[in-house]
Amino acid sequence: MTLKTGVLAILLLTGSSIAAMALESVNFTVVGVAADEDTGALEDSLRAASLTNTALEQDDSNAQDVLGAARSDYARFISVLYQNGYFGPSISIKIDGKEVADIDPFNPPNAVTTVDVAVNTGPSFRFGTAQIGPRPDKAEPTPIVPGFEKNQPADSTLVATAANAGVNEWREKGHAKADVAGQSIVANHERRRLDVKIDLEPGPRLRFGPITITGKTAVREDRIREIMGYPEGEIYSPSELRDVLSRLRRTGAFSVAAVTEADAPSANGNLDYTLSVIDEKPRRIGFSGDVSTQDGITLSAFWLHRNLWGGAERLRIDAEIANIGGTAGGFGSERSDGMDYGIGARLTNPAMFGTDNDGFAYGSFSYTDDPEYEETAALVGVGLSRHFDDKYYGETSIGYRYSDVNDAFGHREFNLIVFPSRLEWENRDTPGDAKKGSYANLYLTPYAGVAGSESGAMMDLDLRGYQGLGSKKKVVLAGRVQLGSVVGSSLSETSPEYLFFSGGADTVRGQPYQSLGVDVGSSQLSGGRSFVGLSAEVRTAVTESIGAVAFMDWGFVGPDSYYSDAGNSQSGLGLGIRYGTPIGPIRLDLATPYTGELKEFSRVEIYIGVGQAF
């Protein structure tokens, strides 16, 4: 054997040995669980808490790391068992047959292949005494939190939860300095009972005192006070304090807005505060893009000023070019390139006519060259928006819209006094990549025709829901319902802006862009006065950053203001990949027609963008 061959053989054998000694399994055995409890659920909780199991999932085969993780798991498992009412457990963690607690941390094994976890829960404990007090007059009846009562499983986390709930009850009544005065927690192993007694100290009822504003900011102090709506002199309320901060943050003018309360109230029963603010950078620009084989490329950009005149006034200018290189083309017998252009601006003045009301003015100009119509439009208006709370938002406005249109009904001009309004409900955990929650958005635009244009109203409702499955929500079910209707004006005398088409990235993937409308004769299409869209997705996390999606979309368009047999429908289905990034998941979808005029599976459309499809 030559020297080179011998060295190669040694390396190959060494590599095989190292691979064989990698961490291969982490095994759990759980015994002692009460008959009415779920052993599988407890094991899942232990696995989720285990750093050793995390090392296995992350292919960490470093023996020192695995030993350290296993040592930490003793305390982590104790915490999980206490949370489930087991206060006398025994825990064994063995690395390749040797108890981890007996391994010298300064002389760890060279390799680890198997970790065996054996848990004997011991008896299940229940609450014996579960007392907390005093509580405010007219407080909700016990238990103060679900489960914190006699004879219920003794979940140790409920003790802290109950204490916090008791303090918060008093704070909501104006007792800003309420606190836990003392507590007694005794585990009676003979009776298998956990006796808990929590004593509260409410302190005096206080009022909001003066607030001092500090920090480096270009926003005028008088405007800060107008915007935040600090309720000086009123009875203390934590929700009022949260609202103060929320109003400041949603202006976008501040990167930091925080309040600090005085250590002690003043002699007259006031609690003084200090507000600290730091400005965001006043200007911001942003870009985005989407790509599909049918619709081409869409590029958009914005420029934002967060503090235009020193009063946190916000000016945003948006521009967009769409359908770059799209295959559908534009309107007319000699098809143009079909590119659309638009630019718009909106100036917002916070705390106008009240702390939760913002005044705004807007204007836009657009040119739309779609396969079924061509429109040049201009819009100006003013309005008022209101933040009802952290989830509800609404706005209404009045404006004037002019448009010059060429479509299936010929050349027309529309002169409309418009009243665009919308209501939004936001209850998603992460709007750009939701795993649970719901979302609703209602657009309602009544319009009054002038100079011969007809009057009517357009309604567009968007409903979305999300439900993650399992403790880690690796599978998410997502659904969407879209409803649209135009009432009042006839089909031929309604601006194409307010009519509905189906097909494309935002309605039915896999179908050509705006391929479904209302046939008005001579092989020409118009948008419809009614629309129904349904979408369903199953999103599955494959790794930490890669996900897979299966989806199906269905759309209906009709000539009437409501769903009827006079309309038609289409559908598409497909598969997609998501790649997680700090700005949201990168989306790649492949879709094909399923029902409609096109034969099923007859073509494939590609869609690329940032964020989930909905």
**Per-residue pLDDT reduced to its tens digit, 61-93:** 788 999 999 999 999 999 999 999 999 999 999
Mean pLDDT check: name the lowest of 98-102, 211-215, 461-465, 511-515: 511-515
Q: How confident is the model at residue 6 (pLDDT cuts 50, 70, 90)?
A: very low
Q: How confident is the model at residue 295 (pLDDT cuts 50, 70, 90)?
A: confident
Q: Residues 6 or more apart from 283 whose CB is under 8 A from it? A: 303, 304, 305, 306
Please determine, for residue 330, whether its predicted confidence score (pLDDT) is greater than 80: no
Q: How many residues are there in the chain? A: 614
Q: Sort strands 90-95 and 98-99 into parallel, antiparallel or unpaired.
A: antiparallel
CB 592 within 8 A of CB 576: no
The maximal CA–CA distance of the chain, rounded, in angstroms, is 100
CB 357 within 8 A of CB 384: yes
CB 272 within 8 A of CB 210: yes
Give the helix/strand (H/E) hosting 396.
Answer: strand 392-407
Q: How confident is the model at residue 334 (pLDDT cuts 50, 70, 90)?
A: low
pLDDT for residue 18: 40
pLDDT for residue 13: 36
Give the helix/strand (H/E) hosting 172.
Answer: helix 157-172
CB 386 within 8 A of CB 377: no
pLDDT for residue 292: 77
User: Amino acid identity of 176?
Assistant: A
CB 289 within 8 A of CB 300: yes
Please determine, for residue 187, whether its predicted confidence score (pLDDT) is greater than 80: yes
* C-alpha–C-alpha distance, residues 204 and 302, integer Å: 51
Please determine, for residue 393, whether its predicted confidence score (pLDDT) is greater than 70: yes
Residue whose entry in the numeric block shows the structure tokens 């934002």: 304
Please determine, for residue 255, whether its predicted confidence score (pLDDT) is greater than 70: yes
pLDDT for residue 519: 92
Average pLDDT over residues 585-589: 94
pLDDT per residue over 24-45, tens digit each?
A: 999 999 998 876 667 888 999 9
- CA count, 13 A, side-chain hemisphere, 277: 27
In angstroms, the Cα distances linking 91 to 46, 99, 513 are 11, 10, 61
Report the percentage of the chain scoring pLDDT > 90: 80
pLDDT for residue 259: 97
> What structural domains and CATH numbers belong to the chain?
20-120 (3.10.20), 126-201 (3.10.20), 207-279 (3.10.20.310), 283-610 (2.40.160.50)
3-state helix, strand, coil in the chain (%, to 5): 15, 45, 35
Mean pLDDT check: name the lowest of 51-60, 361-370, 425-434, 594-603: 51-60
Mean pLDDT check: name the lowest of 4-18, 72-86, 212-226, 396-410: 4-18
Average pLDDT over residues 304-331: 89
- CA count, 13 A, side-chain hemisphere, 28: 19
10 Å Cβ neighbour count for 398? 13
pLDDT for residue 513: 86
- Which segments within 47-150 are labelled E, that is strand? 90-95, 98-99, 114-120, 126-133
pLDDT for residue 481: 98
Q: Which token pair is 107?
A: 């002389």
pLDDT for residue 508: 97
Please determine, for residue 58, whether its predicted confidence score (pLDDT) is greater than 70: yes
- Which segments within 408-545 are labelled E, that is strand? 410-418, 421-428, 436-449, 456-469, 475-487, 518-519, 525-526, 530-541
Q: Which token pair is 219?
A: 């926003």
Average pLDDT over residues 557-575: 96
pLDDT for residue 495: 95
Please determine, for residue 9, whether its predicted confidence score (pLDDT) is greater than 50: no
* C-alpha–C-alpha distance, residues 599 and 593, integer Å: 7
pLDDT for residue 20: 43
Average pLDDT over residues 598-603: 93
pLDDT for residue 15: 40
Q: Residues 6 or more apart from 57 whose CB is under 8 A from it? A: none
| Closest listed residue to residue 445, CA positions, set 475, 414, 479 | 414
Q: Chain-wide mean pLDDT for the chain?
A: 91
Residue whose entry in the numeric block shows the structure tokens 């089909």: 491
Please determine, for residue 544, whether its predicted confidence score (pLDDT) is greater than 90: no
pLDDT per residue over 480-512, tens digit each?
A: 999 999 999 999 999 999 999 999 999 999 999
Phi, psi angles (nearest 5°) of residue 94: -115, 135
pLDDT for residue 17: 40
Please determine, for residue 329, whether its predicted confidence score (pLDDT) is greater than 90: no
pLDDT per residue over 440-457, tens digit each?
A: 999 999 999 999 999 999
CB 10 within 8 A of CB 34: no
pLDDT per residue over 141-165, tens digit each?
A: 778 999 999 999 999 999 999 999 9
Average pLDDT over residues 86-103: 94
Mean pLDDT check: name the lowest of 6-10, 421-425, 466-470, 490-494: 6-10
Peptide bond into 143 cis (omega under 30): yes
Q: How confident is the model at residue 588 (pLDDT cuts 50, 70, 90)?
A: very high
Report the percentage of the chain scoring pLDDT > 70: 94
pLDDT for residue 108: 87
Q: Residues 6 or more apart from 237 whose CB is under 8 A from it? A: 172, 174, 231
Q: Which token pair is 90?
A: 């025994």
Q: How would DSSP label each residue in 51-74?
A: HHHHHHHTT---HHHHHHHHHHHH
* C-alpha–C-alpha distance, residues 67 and 65, integer Å: 5
Exposed e or buried b per residue across 462-501, where buried means at least 16 C-beta atoms within 10 angstroms of its C-beta? bebbbebeeeeeeebebebebbbbbebbebebbbbbbbbb
10 Å Cβ neighbour count for 259? 17
pLDDT for residue 62: 87
* C-alpha–C-alpha distance, residues 436 and 427, integer Å: 9
Helices and strands, number each (H, E), in the chain? 7, 29
Mean pLDDT check: name the lowest of 23-27, 37-41, 300-304, 541-545: 37-41
Q: How confident is the model at residue 12 (pLDDT cuts 50, 70, 90)?
A: very low
pLDDT for residue 328: 64
CB 582 within 8 A of CB 506: no
Q: How confident is the model at residue 336 (pLDDT cuts 50, 70, 90)?
A: low
Q: Sort strands 525-526 and 530-541 into parallel, antiparallel or unpaired.
A: unpaired
| Closest listed residue to residue 609, CA positions, set 160, 138, 295 | 295
Q: Which token pair is 365?
A: 């100009």
pLDDT per residue over 201-245, tens digit each?
A: 999 999 999 999 999 999 999 999 999 999 999 999 999 999 999
Average pLDDT over residues 246-273: 95
